[in-house]
Amino acid sequence: MNEAIPSTINPDAMRSDIDINSLPKKTFVLSMRRGRGYIDGYDYDVDPYTTMSDTGTYEVWEIVNQSGMDHNFHQHVNGSQILSMI
């Protein structure tokens, strides 16, 4: 929390040259109820939410935060690239 936000993006970072309009899309909804966090209605502490993708493929994920608070989102294992934030 004490680290400064970088003033520049790594100049070697490159966006993949892929037509995202033709890719499969998945939407995930983050929510909170009674102090517990959920992804698509699944309590991620009690019944962890998982989704599977095929190796070597690309997907566009839309993460919708309905929790009413700032909330980070992260995934394990696979690399990703942020396309936009609204």
Q: Cα separation of 5 and 76, whole Å?
A: 23
pLDDT at 54: 87
CA distances to 49, 76, 86 from 42, rounded to whole Å, are 6, 17, 24
Split at pLDDT 50, 70, 90, the class of 27 is: very high
Mean pLDDT to the nearest integer, 18-26: 91
Cβ neighbourhood burial of 29 (10 Å; 0-12, 13-18, 19+): middle
Split at pLDDT 50, 70, 90, the class of 18 is: confident
60 has a pLDDT exceeding 90? yes
Choose among 29, 85, 22, 34: nearest CA to 59: 22
By mean pLDDT, which of 11-25, 29-43, 71-85 is the weakest?
71-85
